[in-house]
Amino acid sequence: MKITKVEAFPVPPRWVFCKVETDQGITGWGEPSLEGHAATQVAAVAELARVLVGEDPLRIEHLWQGMYRWGFYRGGPVLMSALSGVDHALWDIFGKSVGLPVHQLLGGACRDKVRVYGGCGGSEPAQLRESAQACVAAGFTAMKFCPVDATEIVDGFDVIKKVEARMAAAREGAGDADVALDFHGRISPPMAIALADALRPYHPFFIEEPVQCENVDALVRVARSTPIPIATGERLYGTHGFREVIEKDAASILQPDLSHAGGITEVRKIAAMANTHYMAIAPHCPLGPVSLAACIQFALCTPNFLIQEHGYLGQGYLKNPFTVTDGYLSIPTAPGLGIEVDEEAVRAMPWQDWDTPRLSQTDGSVADW
């Protein structure tokens, strides 16, 4: 079998899908999304086609190495997201070519169900309480929200009070369900430590990106200051990107994104590295349904998988969208990634460029979103 064509195109609201075609009529789908950079990803995938066209799609590791290393420049969100999407498509082709779901090719299912968390939200405590109650009513046993606004490097008591009030309301609405918090990399180490201390009585499931992950020692400082499990990884790429976090035990939960960190091939390796430090994997996925499909295949066959994030279940994009029942995702049984992209519908969707929201401090200076 030979790869004949590699194509990527933007898909609303802010995704990119890629399609890899072969001379045997088997087609693979992947999602090289990088939010806010759709045109860049379409171009990056077109450049990867140089390595792919004419090659055997079943030599996944070899093609992965070629895409990663033959371009001289490697790593980073743009190149790794493009590579990730192609990697999904190659696994999809492999599965379809032998009539098996991807997880069967990676050792088979090591769990029966894939736990997924919901999202609650609101800036006012009353909204959060209601939203958390709605999550529980929808069957979720875990949920996540971002309790922090733009915050100065050192900020006042009013900020701590506001964040604590939000968490208290979410806990009230959630009852005994798990409530995770995403600080979105907005917070400095001293404020993250102060906030974690204030939130401790509400037993958050974990705190995600309490600080940016570019300075691992800063993350270590936060992690050592609190018994609340720390999660990070949506902005780390490849095994090399995760190495220092793992070696320094800077987090308890790693959140590689299957569309950014190197696809199924690389995230399996990251999970194995993490497992030697007893770290759990909770893949980041606020993206589209092709990315979620890759996550589900990964979750089924990876021992230290913990819980899955989700944004979209695929209605309107897939002919067989996912469902959530009692806090668990439906498991596809079809070969490959187990999905059928509604190509006609997806290609007909009008594309509108999506830009990342811009956050500022109260004095007008730039803040992290």
Catalytically annotated residues: 184, 284
Contact positions with Mg ion (CB under 5 A) in 155-184: 182
Greatest alpha-carbon pair distance for the chain in Å reads 64
Instruction: State the minimum distance, in angstroms, from the CB of residue 182 to Mg ion.
Output: 4
- Look at the block and give the residue holding tokens 């493009």: 82
Least distance (Å) from Mg ion to the CB of residue 111?
24
Secondary structure E strands in the chain: 3-11, 15-22, 27-30, 114-115, 118-119, 142-145, 178-182, 207-208, 230-232, 253-254, 280-281, 324-325, 328-329, 359-360, 366-367
Smallest gap from residue 310 Cβ to Mg ion (A): 13
Which amino acid is residue 330, in one-letter code? Answer: S
Report whether 343 contacts 316 (CB < 8 A): no
Is the Cβ of residue 13 or residue 316 nearer to Mg ion in the bound state?
Answer: 13
Query: Both tokens of residue 169?
Result: 């309301």
Strands 15-22 and 27-30: antiparallel
Among positions 284-303, residues that touch Mg ion (CB under 5 A) are none
Binding mask 33-72 for Mg ion (x = CB under 5 A): ----------------------------------------
257 makes contact with Mg ion (CB under 5 A): no
User: 22 or 226, CB closer to Mg ion?
Assistant: 226
In the bound complex, which residue of the shown chain has the CB atom lying closest to Mg ion? 182
Q: Judged by CB under 5 A, how many residues of this single chain contact Mg ion?
A: 1
Rule CB under 5 A: which of 175-234 touch Mg ion? 182
Instruction: Considering the complex, state which of residue 135 and residue 148 has its C-beta at the smaller distance from Mg ion.
Output: 148
Residue 97 structure tokens? 């070519």
- Reference 213, options 192, 199, 195; nearest CA is 192
Q: How many CB atoms neighbour CB 175 within 10 A?
A: 10
178 vs 182 by CB, closer to Mg ion: 182
CB of 191 to Mg ion, least distance (A): 17
266 binds Mg ion (CB under 5 A): no
Q: Which residues bind Mg ion (CB under 5 A)?
A: 182
